[in-house]
Amino acid sequence: MNEKTVLQQKIEDKTAVIGVVGLGYVGLPLAVEKAKAGYHVIGFDVLAHRVDMVNEGVNYIGDVVDSDLKQMIQTGQMRATTDYSLISEVDAVAICVPTPLDLYQQPDTTYVEASGSEIAKYLHPDMLIVLESTTYPGTTEEVLQPILEASGLKVGQDFYLAYSPERVDPGNKEFNTKNTPKVVGGVTEICTKVAASMYRSVLEGEVHEVSSPQIAEMEKILENTFRNINIGLANEMAILCNKMGIDIWEVIDAAKTKPYGFMAFYPGPGLGGHCIPIDPFYLTWKAREYNYHTRLIEVAGEINNEMPSFVVDRAMKILNRYGTALKGAKVAVLGVAYKKDIEDMRESPVLEIVSLLDQYGATIIPVDPHVQSFKAGDKEYETVDLSTEVLETSDLVLLTTDHSAFDYQLIADHAKAIFDTRNAFKGITPIKADYEKL
């Protein structure tokens, strides 16, 4: 296994051409990093407007530095296309396409299958394919491998196939695509070695090799299920503490003084993002194949999924204290993105909160400096700027995403009533409004 393959040599001397299928939150940062590392990169996407933006050097992903993308395009290190026949020109390709859930909370591998079918048309010997999309254990070998081998080429002999889960945390200022450790598991040992060599040539973080794609697929599910369950615990504790008149945030601050055996997770209005609200359901679906029900995971999911309703119910009770019905009340919803300081609205719980408020007849005033417009339920909304007028004319200010750009002292000075689901007003004094925390 010490002898290098032709592809490994091309990776080492930077003559390999790298393809990235899917230029979203995972694919575009990865493509830019590969180009910065000295490889010629071709990005593939089915969305023509996205391809046009990339080729014009216009960035649309927060974790990509604008100047990096522009420079890679201007120097010719990177280009984007909707023409999948150009797969024939690449030596290695990473698949970074969506893996959503369908209406029945079951994994939808349509995008993976479609990408695999396109790659199979142009698959050639000594080519590497790596699936990065988060999915259930077995996808690489059970779904993608048969599609690719329908070309007549055999994995481990003619081409290399591996799984390496994306680890993207939008807005994280410390860890990004380049410095986050990477896990890689190939269908065969040589598949693992070739895939690992590609990532080591691009990334600064550790590249950890595992024995199979299933190990790599399962570890990704474990990462996000760990967070899902612990956030579910924090949310359940928040509900109980509210009933008992206890400040859950002070409880967590006290608990995290323990230097071992405790990791702080925080409650909130619900889960958002592509991974944490979705990934555990991949596992619960797969577990049924083995006649096993993942009870803890499913219960945590139920708790987290109920948080938007809990938030709206609390908002209703706050308004009732003033003799104001939710129907007809003006509610300023501060923050639409699923986490602070980003524009990402994927699976944002705020969309359900807005939809529920609308169903109850509230007038919603959405405020988010990172989001211009969005759809919740069957309605389109335009966000407005935070202002004294918005605060003073709203019956309730509902803080759902704690963006740094919000002037919390201004809110504290001019709002009538505040319901803070993120403990964003910690340290803000005085708060003249009627103030409640989750």
C-alpha 75: how far from its chain's center? 30
96 is annotated as an active-site residue:
no
Q: 239-275: buried (b, 16+ CB within 10 Å) or exposed (e) per residue?
A: bebbeeeeebbeebeeeeeeeeeeeebebbbbbbbbb
- Could you say which of 96, 191, 241, 275 is catalytic? 275
SS (H, E, C) the chain: CCCCCHHHHHHHCCCCEEEEECCCCCHHHHHHHHHHCCCEEEEECCCHHHHHHHHCCCCCCCCCCHHHHHHHHHCCCEEEECCHHHHHHCCEEEECCCCCECCCCCECCHHHHHHHHHHHHHCCCCEEEEECCCCCCCHHHHHHHHHHHCCCCCECCCEEEEECCCCCCCCCCCCCCCCCCEEEEECCHHHHHHHHHHHHCCCCCCEEEECCHHHHHHHHHHHHHHHHHHHHHHHHHHHHHHHHCCCHHHHHHHHCCCCCCCCCCCCCCCCCCCCCCCHHHHHHHHHHHHCCCCHHHHHHHHHHHCHHHHHHHHHHHHHHCCCCCCCCCEEEEECCCCCCCCCCCCCCHHHHHHHHHHHCCCEEEEECCCCCEEEECCEEEECECCCHHHHHHCCEEEECCCCCCCCHHHHHHHCCEEEECCCCCCCCCCCCCEEEEC
Active-site residues, by number, are 275
